[in-house]
Chain A
Amino acid sequence: MKRSFIILILSTALLGGCKKYLDVNKDPNNPVDVQEALILAPVEANISDNIFGGNAAINIQYFVQTIAPNQENPGNWSYQLFNSYFDGDWTAFYVSGLNNLRILNDKAEASGKSNYAAIAKILSAYVLGTATDLWGDVPYSQAFQGDKNFTPVYDKQDAIYTSVQDLLAKGIADIEKAGVIVPGGDDYFYNGDMDKWKKLAYTLQARYYMHLTKAPGNTAAAQADKALQALNNAMQSNDDDLKFQYEGINTWGQSFDPVSTAVLSSTFVNKLVTTNDPRLPKLVKKADGTGLYNGRTVGDPVGSLDQYSYPSAWVAGTGAANYIVTYSEALFLKAEATFIKSGAAAAAPIYIQGIQAHFLKLGFDITAAAVTGYINSRSLTANNAIQRIMEEKSIANFLNIENFTDWRRTGYPTIAKVNGAMSDIPRRLLYPESERLSNAQMQQAAKITDKLWWDQ
């Protein structure tokens, strides 16, 4: 009895000592908590790098024929796509993007930093809106619960659109709280200028209203009304652009590096050449080897990289910016809405302002003959209004995902499927393989040619 008592005492002491010895599992390498400013900076960089300029965005540029890699068919550019190609995109959208924005918002709300909460909501709306325009039904209402829900269902696209508008409205409301704490350099986009954030929110409201002009249950006129309403408070000048200014080479510059073999597509280059667009040299670089403007046509034999045109240094060079949402876009949205509501004559001046805003951004004197001559040659009529607006919008939105949405909504600018296409021109992206494996949902059967809800 006595002996077992001693053993018990000894082993208790021994195990107690062991427990202390084993207490070394506190992570010295990574912080448990950080302040809002530290989250905002990488979230903004992720949006510019990986959502505006990432893998999904590059594939979109293949579809709208601005980029054609110097590669043999088949490939993504000829619509040979596999679900696994998009695994990384959902990390950018849902993990680095939306989940960190959710945390940023929750933290900011808890600590009363309403401006950070506003930015988190507005950027969430942008990321979620971009996601649904690429994939349609996507997770949101049941998402971001970690191990409490490993298999969030996908919300219908119209519900997602409601969430997007809801986020934007709440973001605007947060800004109106006029919180004293504003971000500084951690806000790469606007350096804490909350007026600009508000204008962005209204511009995005208009963008997402206009996306639904032909969505079932919505009318173009009603969507145009809402958009025009929002545009009253939207961006007022090129200074209001949501852009990411890179000190080094921007993401597009990196995407066009020699190893990727990405070059400009002949579809895009030829369009500017045939319309004698004065912006051609500002946007497109002549081929190094030939001194000619020459895009690549998918399906042609592989050529020398130096016989193709690349984007200009202004678009994709050192110190170039990623233009994510612009004043020009706001004007083209307004022109489209005005055309729907009031006809071509009312829309024309706004349309011209849209073109001029882009010329100004590129450093043109808009009174110069070349510019006015070009604009005159692109006049708007009742018959060509949507086509012209979309053609001009797509140049102003060069390399923007928005061009794919506009093409799906309106069919402009017209494009034909590439040589050697494996299918018709895609109208969406595939759901990631990683999603199919870890969160099986019926929507994942979608093919790239299936149309989204608003694209019926």
Chain B
Amino acid sequence: MRKPSKLIGLIFFVLICQLTMAQNKIVTGKLSDSMGRGIPGATIQEKKTKHFATTNKDGNYEITIANSGVLQVSAVGYEPGEFSTTGKNEVNIVLKQNTVALNEVVVTALGVKRDKRNLTYSTQELKGEVLTNSKEPNLVNAMAGKVSGVQITSSAGTAGASSRIVIRGATSATGDNQALFVIDGVPINNDETATGGAAGAGTNRVSDIDPASIENITVLKGAAATALYGSSGAKGVVMITTKSGGIDKKPAINFSSELSFEKALIPERQTKYGQGINGIFSNGEDQKTSASWGPLMDTLKINGSAAPKYDPWKSFLRKGITTNNSVSVSGGGATSSYFLSYSYYNQQGVVPVNDYKRHSLFAKYNTKIYKNLTSTFQLGYTNSNQTRLPEGWVNGPLFVLMGQPISWNPYPVLNTDGSQRLYRFSRNPPLWSVDNMKNNATVNRFIPVLTFNYTPLSWLTVTERLGADIYTEQNNYYNAPSPALGPADSEDPNASGSVRNANTNFRQFNNDLIINAHKAFNKFDVNLLLGNNIYSNYSQYVTVSGTKLTIADFYNVSSAKDIKGSEAYYQQRKVGFYSQANIEYNKILALSLTGRYDGSSVLAKDKQFYPYGSAALSFIFSELFPKSNSSFMNFGKLRFSYATVGNDGVGAYQLGTPYILASRASGNFPFQGQPGFLLSETLGNSTLKNERLNEYEVGLEAKFLNSRIGFEASYFHRKSTNGIIPGVAISAATGYTGTTVNSASIENKGVEVLVNASPIKSKDFNWDLTVNFSTIHNKVLQLYPGLNQLGRLIVGQPYNIFYGDKYARNASGKLLVDADGHPFADGQGIVGNANPEWLGGMSNSFRYKQFSLDIFFDVKKGGDVWNGVDSYGTFYGTAKATEHRSDFVLDAVSAVDGKANTIVIKAQDYYRNNQLYEAFVQDGTFIKLRTASLTYRLDPSLLKRTIIKTLSFSVTGRNLWIYSPHFTGADPEVSSWGTANGDVGVYAFSSPTSRSINFALKLGF
């Protein structure tokens, strides 16, 4: 019986214990920070029980617990802790502020890391994960809609197409308005290249950067933030920080594999009427016309049977398929760390021939050479390759395809005699183009960065950073001879056949030597920085091209009858000396002063050097709040800044007026054996000085409810003066078509708002919300005295208006019609504005246990688009609008008698006679469900026994929904001709954008 008694004894003991533990007591106390201020809203829980309390607004709490319970305390912004209550009824707890949470470190100009709390200007950070989750290979597109004050305009749906990024509005009349990209402190090139051979957008070179190698990016928006970058940063800076290994970190291998399918978003067209004119059918064989003003297909009989329909898109487009695989290894020992990654991105575009492939390799090695000397060496290598067809209306197949009558069978592509078969004259059949023209661009790019940090004294750091950006581009284009466009000996290369090989060599070197001193004494914290920058870039363009091809399907320049070559190279250098002082007082006030003195090789000899600088102040007013207030608003900061930045804003060799190799429509001299030069059409300006950008900015940052809600808003006003306009138009009577002036002025005013919120935060369910909003109003103030218009720039108007033929209207704005009942032109004028009224983005992240759902919407309100596809489509009778073909009376006033119009007109006459520019400027407003992504992360505990540490699977949809109430194409987010200033908002026969679904698998070992 002993055994049972022992058992009973044990049970008794346990019961006693339970009873003892169940003896509750009440513990009270105050939770405060290191300065003695109460921490409201904190969670206090007894360990291993459900006993739970929260602190009140003063930080006081009261909790009922077991006698000897341990308190687990957690509060947002503080390091959690455990506190014993044994023998106590009052426990006052002091929590340490969580430096990670509050002292958000951001990367600022020159790669200097600073505490966001004290920053005197606006920045916005995006995590690398946000970029990769967008499933966009082009970093610029990956940022779209996510950063306030930043406008991103993608050019086309072509795989590898360029995208434009402008921060806080355009400030240069015709020069570069796009942001500077900087990788780990070293500027890189973002030119749009591969534009020379075939019409259509090229590739912006930042797309060579693999988003998977990026830890995060910081966008420096205003001049105060970028003043240290000087000239090149005047248009805003995107700072890219790449991934690193970690000290004493075991090797971690991450593998990610993605597969996505893309479906083209094609514009609607009419499918009711066949080829012909005046309702009379043309068969497209011996009766050719570009018009689809033929008979109703439903009643059309060919040889007694119902006429079949042929969907032009169906014969041409294909399913896009993209794979993206990447692998990375990172880790480190006691004194060094490493990160290695490789990705291969392979996209097959929805338009035939078009694909984009990118191999990217990135390696970073960080080591402590000596106790106070560390070095980092990194090298990025990218091999990218884009192949595409020409776009636009000159010789692009999409132009012909979009005009293709629904009644015309695109097969066979060739006639029995081998000639091109098409429904109309003077163009290439689209399917013929697929086999007979191609533009290919291969880029090999190296971006090495070498950084040394020497810390001889605890408060002194010397940084030496040398970086380069070196790439070559081989751009090859060919088109076969096309009898449809002209004879074999035509001077038109599109007719006679052409081959063009353009090689670009680009290299850029950047060196910074920075001395940084940091010391805190009394209530002051002082940071002084002195530095020097040396920069040079060199680009060389060598082109050989041949026309009048003589050998079928052989696209070497040796096949050409006429061969021409050209070469050009450009060199530009800069030096800069800079200094910065950041002085903080008592964590309440921060003053930042910068000064820079730059010299640029491209300006007039006596005006090469120019100084500038900035002053900024931030005031953390929440420090002054009585403690009781801090539960509602736990952080509040006001900031003010003023900056004046100089910029060289012009390419090399603009000072003189040289002779230029003469050219004819069909190519450069020599012509018929004679060499020839003409004086440059652009008059040099030997007195060029720097341009200037002045900006003031006011900002408010606040955090509420223990940082559950964050709010940032900025107002800025920036004005460029002495703006350089290279080659600005002047009267031909001067003997020149243009010169370079130093007189442009453009103003941008705007508001940027960013709100972060975590409405729900719990163990199993989180909801995070980010909303950004920006509105920018810009105005061209001056071009040069005497010139009020330069293309799409008009003094007193926003940057990039649409200007062209407009309709005659009466005094009250009502459309006028002529004696025949048709509207007519009344000269040219402003007919649209490409600038949006505002931009917004909203990202929602929901996480429930192992599932997360991310949904991102963005909105563009306003911003006109010129719909060139409809301009042609209405004329040809393919546009959706031309589906309604009954006679009608325009709601207008007769210009003849001033009375209401009563004249009945034919739809065909109306659409074919109304090719005015104004008619096709459409409001480009859109709301897009840009991405929605569902991710499942396997519970790590399930993987304990495997070598796998993390495993996740996600499905992402892109462009799932587009609401564009005024634009009649499929996707108003388009700029068919590329990223140049004047191309913004032009939609003209570029590859359709697509909707995609992406499956991604991520594994970590």
By a beta-carbon cutoff of 8 Å, the part of chain A in contact with chain B is 15, 18-19, 21-34, 38-39, 41-43, 45-46, 49, 72-74, 80, 82, 84, 90-91, 93-96, 98-100, 102-103, 138-139, 142-147, 149-152, 185-186, 188, 246-249, 253-254, 257-259, 261, 301-302, 304-305, 318, 432-435, 437-439
Instruction: Determine whether the beta carbon of A254 is less than 8 Å from that of B731.
Output: no
Q: How far is the CA of A254 from the CA of B729 in the complex (A)?
A: 29
Residues of chain B with a CB closer than 8 A to A49's CB? 664-665
Shortest distance from the beta carbon of A353 to any chain B beta carbon, whole Å: 32
Instruction: Determine whether the beta carbon of B659 is less than 8 Å from that of A146.
Output: no
- CB of B491 within 8 Å of the partner chain: yes
- CB of B573 within 8 Å of the partner chain: yes
Beta-carbon nearest neighbor of B652 in chain A: A25
Shortest distance from the beta carbon of A113 to any chain B beta carbon, whole Å: 16
* 25 A-B residue pairs with CB within 8 Å: A24-B573, A24-B652, A29-B568, A30-B653, A38-B676, A41-B676, A42-B669, A72-B875, A72-B912, A93-B732, A94-B733, A95-B737, A143-B733, A144-B735, A150-B734, A150-B786, A248-B491, A257-B490, A259-B426, A304-B289, A435-B731, A437-B789, A438-B729, A439-B730, A439-B731
Residues of chain A with a CB closer than 8 A to B290's CB? 302
- CB of B828 within 8 Å of the partner chain: yes
Q: Which of B468-518 contact A (CB under 8 A)?
A: 484-487, 489-492, 494-495
Residues of chain A with a CB closer than 8 A to B672's CB? 188, 246-247
Residues of chain B with a CB closer than 8 A to A93's CB? 732
Instruction: Tell me whether A302 and B734 are in contact in the complex, defined as CB-CB below 8 angstroms, given that A29-B653, A254-B492 are known contacts.
Output: no
Beyond A102-B735, A254-B666, A437-B788, list 17 extra A-B contacts (CB 8 Å). Answer: A34-B677, A38-B675, A45-B671, A90-B733, A91-B732, A96-B678, A96-B681, A145-B734, A151-B731, A247-B672, A254-B490, A259-B427, A304-B287, A304-B288, A435-B731, A438-B786, A439-B786
Which of B278, B494, B732, B828 contacts A434 (CB under 8 A)? B732
Instruction: Determine whether the beta carbon of A95 is less than 8 Å from that of B805.
Output: no
Contact with A along B668-688 (1 / 0, CB 8 A): 010111111111110101000
Q: Which of B614-636 contact A (CB under 8 A)?
A: none
Interface size range of chain B in the complex: 35 or more
- CB of B599 within 8 Å of the partner chain: yes
Beta-carbon nearest neighbor of B277 in chain A: A301
Q: How far is the CA of A146 from the CA of B682 in the complex (A)?
A: 10
- CB of B780 within 8 Å of the partner chain: no
Instruction: Determine whether the beta carbon of A257 is less than 8 Å from that of B495.
Output: yes
**10 A-B pairs with the lowest CB-CB distances in the bound complex, closest first:** A42-B662, A99-B735, A42-B676, A439-B731, A139-B733, A30-B658, A27-B653, A90-B732, A144-B735, A41-B674
Instruction: Tell me whether A249 and B490 are in contact in the complex, defined as CB-CB below 8 angstroms, given that A27-B656, A146-B683, A258-B425 are known contacts.
Output: yes
Q: How far is the CA of A373 from the CA of B384 in the complex (A)?
A: 73
Shortest distance from the beta carbon of B374 to any chain A beta carbon, whole Å: 28
Shortest distance from the beta carbon of B785 to any chain A beta carbon, whole Å: 9
Instruction: Determine whether the beta carbon of B665 is less than 8 Å from that of A94.
Output: no
Contact with A along B775-815 (1 / 0, CB 8 A): 00000000000111110000000000000010000000000
Instruction: Determine whether the beta carbon of B731 is less than 8 Å from that of A150.
Output: yes
Beta-carbon nearest neighbor of B288 in chain A: A304
Contact with A along B874-907 (1 / 0, CB 8 A): 0100000000000000000000000000000000
Beta-carbon nearest neighbor of B494 in chain A: A259
Q: Which of B695-728 contact A (CB under 8 A)?
A: none
Instruction: Tell me whether A147 and B739 are in contact in the complex, defined as CB-CB below 8 angstroms, given that A41-B675, A91-B732 are known contacts.
Output: yes
Instruction: Determine whether the beta carbon of B289 is less than 8 Å from that of A257.
Output: no
Shortest distance from the beta carbon of B19 to any chain A beta carbon, whole Å: 82
- CB of B948 within 8 Å of the partner chain: no
Q: How far is the CA of A43 from the CA of B608 in the complex (A)?
A: 37
Instruction: Determine whether the beta carbon of B734 is less than 8 Å from that of A25.
Output: no
Instruction: Determine whether the beta carbon of B674 is less than 8 Å from that of A186.
Output: yes
By a beta-carbon cutoff of 8 Å, the part of chain B in contact with chain A is 277-278, 287-291, 425-427, 484-487, 489-492, 494-495, 534, 567-575, 599-602, 608-609, 652-653, 655-662, 664-666, 669, 671-681, 683, 685, 729-737, 739, 786-790, 805, 825, 827-828, 875, 912-913
Residues of chain B with a CB closer than 8 A to A15's CB? 609
Q: How far is the CA of A304 from the CA of B289 in the complex (A)?
A: 7
Q: How far is the CA of A425 from the CA of B805 in the complex (A)?
A: 22
Shortest distance from the beta carbon of B676 to any chain A beta carbon, whole Å: 3
Instruction: Determine whether the beta carbon of B735 is less than 8 Å from that of A146.
Output: yes
Q: How far is the CA of A33 from the CA of B570 in the complex (A)?
A: 20
Instruction: Determine whether the beta carbon of B731 is less than 8 Å from that of A91.
Output: no
Q: How far is the CA of A375 from the CA of B947 in the complex (A)?
A: 103
Which of B599, B674, B677, B733 contacts A18 (CB under 8 A)? B599
Q: How far is the CA of A134 from the CA of B460 in the complex (A)?
A: 75
* Most interface-central of A18, A185, A438, A439 (chain B CB within 10 A): A438
Which of B277, B426, B677, B733 contacts A152 (CB under 8 A)? B733
Residues of chain B with a CB closer than 8 A to A254's CB? 490-492, 665-666
Instruction: Determine whether the beta carbon of B660 is less than 8 Å from that of A30.
Output: yes
Beta-carbon nearest neighbor of B568 in chain A: A29
Instruction: Determine whether the beta carbon of A25 is less than 8 Å from that of B599.
Output: no
Shortest distance from the beta carbon of B363 to any chain A beta carbon, whole Å: 32
